[in-house]
Amino acid sequence: NAGVTQTPKFQVLKTGQSMTLQCAQDMNHNSMYWYRQDPGMGLRLIYYSASEGTTDKGEVPNGYNVSRLNKREFSLRLESAAPSQTSVYFCASSVSRRSNQPQHFGDGTRLSIL
């Protein structure tokens, strides 16, 4: 009963390196999301995918790209990492984008950029 699985759990990068964060859900959810969590800031939405084949920008999309590979998988890519992208990244999914649907979260990827 995995729910939302994120890999890797931890990563250290040097400035300018690229990386892809992976997310997969086994709940047959249509919608998926990427958030970042910074101290004192709460969670902020980076990108979301309302359904397979669609992606849209959230509140803080600059410096990131996403791919909705199939219904299960939604990846987040940092093309040229910057220290300001040091954060904890969470993937979430929900049955749909309808407002009464709760979101289910993975346990996060802790990313440090030196």
Q: According to CB under 8 A, which one of 76, 87, 106, 113 is a site residue for another protein?
A: 106
User: Which span sits near another protein by CB under 8 A: 21-29, 67-75, 79-87, 106-114?
Assistant: 106-114
d(CA 12, CA 81): 10
Chain position carrying tokens 């047959």: 28
Q: Is 62 exposed, middle or buried (0-12, 13-18, 19+ CB in 10 A)?
A: exposed
Smallest CA-to-CA distance from 31 within 58, 16, 51, 6 is with 51
- Closer CB to another protein, residue 5 or residue 75? 5
Applying CB under 8 A, the site for another protein has a residue count of 24
Q: How far is the CB of 60 from another protein (least distance, A)?
A: 11
Q: How far is the CB of 86 from another protein (least distance, A)?
A: 17
Please list every residue from 33 through 92 that binds another protein, using CB under 8 A. Answer: 35, 40-45, 48, 56, 58-59, 90, 92
- B/e letters for 37-61, b = 16+ CB within 10 Å, e = fewer, are eeeeeebebbbbbbeeeebeebebb
Residues lying near another protein in the complex (CB under 8 A) are found at 4, 35, 40-45, 48, 56, 58-59, 90, 92, 97, 99-100, 102-108
